């Protein structure tokens, strides 16, 4: 049985069988060896077509990777743009908050000043009302004493009690 294996290289099966027979193999043993070796060469070795398929797959993978890289760059650019826009928005909000806090400080100070003024005004009103009540009480007391004069016997001891006590005079 003399066949040539169809791979990327030439394999002369007839020459191989002749060499095996010359070294002591029977022709049948040599043919079995050639058949097994041919199967191994067909199934285990890569052919130019196999390598070409792998090369094609590698090219397809490179193309896919390039497409993915382009998408990643696009997304990266969009994210950088969005981050920059967010930074501007954050600064705008920060500026607005600072302005609002300053305005609130002015309002608080205004309310505080108004409260102080109102408290002083209330204090003045209270003093005026207390003075008026004291004057009214004195007026009522005077009016009562005029309407109902006290007998002299009551007034003199009261007057003596109200005088400052001094040491008894030497007699």
Q: What is the pLDDT of residues 101-138, one digit of tens each?
A: 999 999 999 999 999 999 999 999 999 999 999 999 99
Domains in the chain: boundaries: 1-45, 46-141
Distance, CA of 66 to CA of 52 (rounded, Å):
21
pLDDT at 108: 94
The stretch 74-103 carries a mean pLDDT of 93
pLDDT at 154: 63
CB 34 within 8 A of CB 17: yes
Q: pLDDT (tens digit, 9 = 90+) per residue, 23-82?
A: 998 999 989 988 888 888 777 777 788 788 999 999 999 999 999 999 999 999 999 999
More confident residue, 164 or 48: 48
Half-sphere exposure of 162 (CA within 13 A, CB side): 6
Q: Phi/psi at 4 (nearest 5 deg)?
A: -110, 135
The partner residues of 12 in beta bridges, in order of sequence, read 4
Sign of CA dihedral 81, 87, 93, 96: negative
């Amino acid at each position: 049985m003399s066949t040539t294996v169809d791979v990327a290289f030439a394999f002369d099966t007839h020459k191989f069988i002749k060499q095996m027979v010359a070294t002591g193999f029977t022709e049948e043993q040599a043919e079995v060896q050639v058949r097994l070796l041919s199967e191994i060469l067909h199934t285990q070795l890569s052919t130019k077509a196999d390598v070409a398929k792998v090369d094609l797959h590698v090219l397809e993978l490179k193309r896919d990777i390039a497409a993915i890289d382009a998408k990643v760059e696009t997304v990266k650019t969009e994210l950088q743009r969005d981050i920059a826009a967010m930074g501007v928005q954050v600064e705008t909000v920060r500026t607005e908050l600072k302005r609002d806090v300053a305005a609130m400080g002015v309002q608080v100070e205004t309310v505080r000043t108004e409260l102080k003024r109102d408290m002083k005004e209330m204090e003045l009103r209270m003093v005026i009302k207390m003075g008026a009540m004291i004057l009214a009480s004195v007026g009522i007391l005077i009016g009562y004493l005029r309407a109902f004069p006290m007998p002299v016997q009551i007034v003199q001891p009261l007057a003596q009690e109200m005088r400052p006590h001094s040491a008894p005079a030497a007699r």
